[in-house]
Every structure is written in C-alpha cells, then in structure tokens.
C-alpha cells in the first residue's frame, strides 16, 4: 500500500461535466496539498490544508473546489473546466509543525484531459 | 519572494557519463533545499535534501551541496545509469513560513546505453 494514493489515475471529461479527484494518505500526516503539473512550467501549488483547515488558495479559479473531510482524505471537485486545465494533478502530504521533516510525499497523480 | 531556477532540459547522456543539473534559488530567509525525482508514470519522490549552508545531501550516488554564497544547490552524479532517466526538480521550503514549497520547472534526463 503506497503512502499517498490518488484516484482516478486518468480522467477525461467534457467542459460541462462535474467530476472529483480523490487523494488518501496513510502516513499519519496533518497537511495535504494539491499541485498542478503542466508541461514546461513549475509545479503550481493550488491548495494547502493544515489540520483539515485550508491555509492556502493560490488564486485558483472557482471551477476547482477542494474538500478535506479529515486529515487523511482530500478531494478536488471539478466543474465547467476549460481545455487549458488539462494537466497532471498531484496530491501530496507532509507533517507540519514541530515534527516537520521538510519532506513532501506525493501520490502518482491524476492525469486530467478536458475536451 | 522565494523562487527556484533550474537548467532547462532535456539532457541526454550516455551511460557512465558525469551529470550536473544546475539549480539556483532566491529566498527571503533560511530555506531547506531539496531535489525530487519523477520517474515515468509516477509522482515525485524525494531524492536528497540539505537543511543549512554547507550541508551535502546524498542518495543513490547523487549529491548536492547547499551553497549560500552562490545561492545554489547543483545536483551531481559521477556515473549515470539508464535507470536514472527521469525528471529532476529542485525545490526549496521555508519551514518557518508555513512549510511552503517552491519548485523549479524540472529537468528531463535521458540516459542512453
């Protein structure tokens, strides 16, 4: 069982669809992240949750809606996306606070294609 | 602000060649520095890290030294293997500012037999 699991691994959706990406971490961490990876661009931090509270929202369009029901699960709800939103979406977790080792643990990513 | 700049790829090397991937950073405080590696079809995983100036991180034959005077953290390996083919990301984190991570654009490495 990998530390951070993302589903689905691949998703194709139309611009009017509603879908969700799921992330689950089995590492006992208290911080979770969504990153967007596009070709030839730095990883873009989208959202950060510390202790289930959203602490970062880097000017992400409202068509992306995160949800963190508990410290082990993170969702990214998608609706009315645009073709330029096609990318690899990576979930990560870490241990924030005093036990911070400064390391992010990533899932394998969800490859999203918007038609 | 904080940022990371790394050399653009792609980089293609023959097996057993010497590898250097340059990385420089800009930070407001005293960051920790990281190299992450992404193998085909996988997520990123930590390769090595250094938490203070002059520290050397090493793993799997890769090394990088935290150079504060040149704000650099170049990745090196003396003899690359085909299995090292991947995308390498330089990153920094300032733990005192909420564990924010900043990544470079990534450098694709292909090692040919």
Rounded to 5 degrees, φ, ψ at A84 are: -70, -5
Helix (H/G/I), strand (E/B), else coil: A98? coil
For chain B, the residue count is: 113
Position B54 scores a pLDDT of 95
**A103 and B CB contact within 8 Å:** yes
Per-residue pLDDT of chain A (115 residues; tens, 9 = 90+): 569 999 999 999 988 889 999 999 999 998 899 999 988 788 888 998 887 777 777 789 999 999 999 989 999 999 999 999 999 999 999 887 655 566 889 999 999 999 9
Q: Confidence band (pLDDT; 50, 70, 90) for B99? A: low
CB-based contact A42 B93, cutoff 8 Å: no
CB-based contact B99 A40, cutoff 8 Å: no
- Per DSSP, the residues of chain B read --EEEE----EEEETT--EEE-EEEE-SS--EEEEEEE-TTS-EEEEEEE-STT-EEEETTEEEE-BTTTTB--EEESS--GGG-EEEEEEEEEGGGTSEEEE---EEEEEE-
Position A25 scores a pLDDT of 96
Evaluate if residue B97 carries a pLDDT over 70. no
Name beta bridge partners: B62.
Answer: B59, B77
C-alpha span between A78 and B29 (Å, rounded)? 36
C-alpha span between B29 and A26 (Å, rounded)? 32
Question: A19: which residues sit within 8 A by CB, 6+ positions away?
Answer: A11, A13, A77, A78, A79
Q: Mean pLDDT over all residues of chain B?
A: 92
Name beta bridge partners: B26.
Answer: B3
Helix (H/G/I), strand (E/B), else coil: A47? strand
For chain A, the residue count is: 115
Rg from Cα positions in chain B: 14
Looking at beta carbons, which residues of chain B come within 8 Å of A36? none
Looking at beta carbons, which residues of chain B come within 8 Å of A90? 43-44
Position B101 scores a pLDDT of 84
Position A55 scores a pLDDT of 72
For residue A33, what are the CA distances in angstroms to A4, A45, A89, A106? Answer: 11, 8, 10, 9
C-alpha span between B50 and B69 (Å, rounded)? 15
For residue A101, what are the CA distances in angstroms to A57, A79, B68, B81? Answer: 23, 35, 21, 29
Position A53 scores a pLDDT of 74
For residue A44, what are the CA distances in angstroms to A18, A36, A39, B41, B79? Answer: 22, 5, 11, 19, 32
Q: Which one has a higher pLDDT value, B18 or B97?
A: B18
Q: Closest to B32 (Cβ–Cβ): which among A48, A102, A107?
A: A102
Position A100 scores a pLDDT of 58
């Amino acid at each position: 069982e990998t530390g951070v699991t993302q589903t689905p691994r691949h998703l194709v959706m139309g611009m009017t669809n509603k879908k969700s990406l799921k992330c689950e971490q089995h590492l006992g961490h208290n911080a979770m992240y969504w990153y967007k990876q596009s070709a030839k661009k730095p990883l873009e931090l989208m959202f950060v949750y510390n202790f289930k509270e959203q602490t970062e929202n880097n000017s992400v369009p409202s068509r992306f809606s995160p949800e963190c029901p508990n410290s082990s699960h993170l969702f990214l709800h998608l609706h009315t996306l645009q073709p330029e939103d096609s990318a690899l979406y990576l979930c990560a977790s870490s241990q924030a606070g005093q036990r911070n080792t400064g390391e992010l643990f990533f899932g394998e990513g969800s490859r999203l294609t918007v038609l | 602000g904080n940022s990371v700049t790394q050399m653009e790829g792609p980089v293609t090397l023959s097996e057993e060649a010497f590898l250097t991937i340059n990385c420089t950073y800009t930070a407001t405080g005293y960051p920790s520095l990281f190299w992450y590696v992404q193998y085909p079809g996988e997520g990123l995983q930590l390769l090595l890290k250094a938490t203070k100036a002059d520290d050397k991180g090493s793993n799997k034959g890769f090394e990088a030294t935290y150079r504060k005077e040149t704000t650099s953290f170049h990745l090196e390996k003396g003899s690359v293997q085909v299995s090292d083919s991947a995308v390498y990301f330089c990153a920094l984190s300032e733990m005192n500012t909420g564990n924010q991570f900043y990544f470079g654009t990534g450098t694709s490495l292909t090692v040919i037999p």
